[in-house]
Amino acid sequence: MRRVKIADRAGFCFGVSRAIKLVEEGVAKNIRIATLGPIIHNSQVTNSLAKKGVRIINSPEEAEKDETVVIRSHGIPRDVEDTLKELGVNYIDATCPFVKKIHNIVMENHAQGKSIIIVGDKSHPEVIGINGWCGNTGAVIASVEECEKLDKTLLDNGCVVAQTTFEREIWEKITKFIKNTCKTTLIFDTICSATNERQKSAAELAENSDSFIVIGGKNSSNTKKLYDIARRRCPSTFLVEGAWELPAHELKGELIGITAGASTPDWIIKEVYIMVDEQVKNINNEKGDQSFAEALEQYEQSLVALNTGDIKVGKVVRVTPTEVYVDLGYKMEGVIPAEELTDDPAADTASICSVGDEIEVFVIRVSDIDGVKLSKKKIDAIKGWKTIEAASESGEILEGKIIEAVNRGVIVSSNGCRIFVPASLASERFTSDLSTLVGNEVRFKVVNIREDRRGKRAIGSIKEVAAAERKAKADEFWANVEEGKHYTGVVKTLTKFGAFVDIGGVDGLIHITQLSWQRIKDPAEVVKVGDVVDVYIIKANQETNKISLGFRKVEDDPWVIAKSKFEVGSVVPVKVVRLVQFGAFVELIPGIDGLVHISQIANKRINKPEDELTVGQVVDAKITDIDWDKKKIGLSIRALIAPEAPAEEAPVEAPAEEAPATEE
């Protein structure tokens, strides 16, 4: 029995769908649209748009004053974009996000001095656009042979990217050669995954087909690649732009395969299918096989498997920072925009789902041009609302995240739903700037559910839960508090006289004198709001609800340190910190000062300390006295100065020794 089968992933890709959507939205708003080059390599589509007044121009200079220019999905060189700006032309950038990513890679690496190598068709608009983001200095290659001819120094310092629609089989051969030749080359696989899937699906179907049809524009690069891939596997392969070009009498064999390029709308695919299937019907009916009606019904079921409002389970096939692509078994992937993934605007798509995950989605829209738009957020909201309603009845405490500050309150995202919390219930303490609460993970109660013209809305209270939890912690604290007991706390506020610390349900004060062993003028010299600190109870009075906290550690007391380092008779380097009438105060270590009396500064009489010393001067001194109880240390510089030798005096002549008397 002869059969007709359409390959998976045939037809419009996301980038092309997006570009056409932007044009049609402009037309619907009565905006005069001109496209910079054909918006798509499909004459049927461009002719249809032309009838709606959409012009094709070839340069920014051709744009008229009241026109909005749409940049097609292929993208444009940087200098062309600059010209649009310089001329003041209003334009919409419909460059495919995957192509835009290549522009950024090329621009950044070119700026770093890398040699740009582009794997693709040098005459293709996408490649021309890519090259324009490195000043048209890129080397464009399309085969291993061309790669082999490149200067090795170019490859050594190279950055390699690929045209999004380039054939993967050739790309892999080129990159294998580069990896075997150079170890320092940067290689970015920028072939669009949808292109890869389309080519892979076409190759597999062509391998098993007796005849194969590729539908698409004759000028479309990705369509030509599909044709080349299919023909290598199925010699009886034909390239057609529509049903009118079908080789009616040349299709042969049991299985006829069909695929379509990224620029081919579904209605053209359908026309071709019906035409081929009509031929199959004529042949099969003679053999008593499947009827045309049955074959068409089978086709329709495979082509239109989704409807707006459906809830489906699919598999995540690609995750980007702005979108998640889901395979639902339909002919094109469904797309979940980031805003339909979660309520949290700060959430990272990659942290919510990964390639290979099964995901339940709500179908927002199914369109041949716009594609399939999906929502995970709606599914979460449908399921989560049941939890919200149950919590409203039971008083259960829920968890969520503050995602937005709005007029007179904040929005908490919980269980896929948005709960409004009035400003008066958003925090235990009054907060003048509610935006400071955005991002906080919170616990709350649902205090009310209202219904108005916009539907049901849940009202929550963070304050009620926080107050109850704080009271429970405070009760536990006062039941177990002891002087000297240590707590881990968080600095909440700073004042001139100290720091208030939350130690779990209650706040205590670290007085400024307890923050440091050294003198400080401001608590901010030691701690800041949000710091996690280890404190201990100095005094706690439940009646006055006042708690004095200690922060200084005994082992950090400079007098404790000094006792282990200094003794009478020690010679130490000291820094002069203050001069007074009776001497000089010197610093032995931070926090420990001693006194050098004026009489101990020099080995001679001086009128004032300034005669010998200056503030900041470092000198050696000998410790002469320590009173640990009174915390006083006396030192002497004089003790280390050698005494001056006395002046020499003239020698005194000794009296002559009398001669001993002699006898006569």
- Which are the catalytic amino acids? 126
State phi, psi for 169 to the nearest 5 degrees. Answer: -60, -45
- The long-range contacts involving 249-255, CB below 8 angstroms and separated by at least 24 positions, are 250/211, 251/211, 251/213, 251/276, 251/279, 252/210, 252/211, 253/2, 253/209, 253/210, 253/211, 254/1, 254/2, 254/3, 254/210, 255/2, 255/3, 255/5, 255/208, 255/209, 255/210, 255/211
CA angle, residues 305, 310, 312, in degrees to nearest 5: 75
- Listed residue (214, 307, 193, 207) closest to 258, CA to CA: 214
For residues 533 and 550, give the distance between their C-alpha atoms in angstroms, rounded to a whole number.
11
How many degrees, rounded to 5, is the angle at CA 509 between CA 507 and CA 511? 170
601 neighbors 641 (Cβ within 8 angstroms): no
Other CB atoms within 10 Å distance of the CB of residue 639:
14
Q: Could you give the C-alpha distances from 663 to 656, 660, in angstroms and in order?
A: 21, 10
Candidates 343, 347, 356, 355; CA nearest to 319 is 355
Are the C-beta atoms of 546 and 537 separated by less than 8 Å?
no
Interacting residues of 49 by C-beta distance below 8 A, sequence separation 6+: 20, 23, 24, 27, 35, 39
Element (H, E) at 108: helix 97-111
What DSSP character marks residue 241?
A: S
Burial zone of 31 (CB within 10 Å; 0-12 exposed, 13-18 middle, 19+ buried): middle
One DSSP character per residue, 409-426 reads EEEEEETTEEEEEEGGGS
- Are the CB atoms for 542 and 553 separated by under 8 Å? no
Closest CA to 40 of 125, 105, 103, 100: 125
Residue 633, strand partner residues: 626
Angle formed by the axes of helices 193-207 and 221-233, nearest 10°: 30
Contact call for residues 388 and 458 (beta carbons, < 8 A): yes
* Residue pointed to by tokens 């009296």: 655
H/E element holding 586? strand 583-589
C-beta neighbour count of 148 within 10 angstroms:
11
User: What DSSP character marks residue 277?
Assistant: H
117 burial (CB, 10 Å; 0-12 / 13-18 / 19+) is buried
Residue found by looking up tokens 């610093």 in the block: 587
Joined tokens for residue 84:
């649009």
List helix spans (H) across 265-376: 266-286, 292-303, 349-352
* Structural tokens at position 616: 């900041």
User: Hey, is 225 helix, strand or coil?
Assistant: helix
- Residue 371 Rama label (left phi>0; alpha psi -120 to 50; beta): left
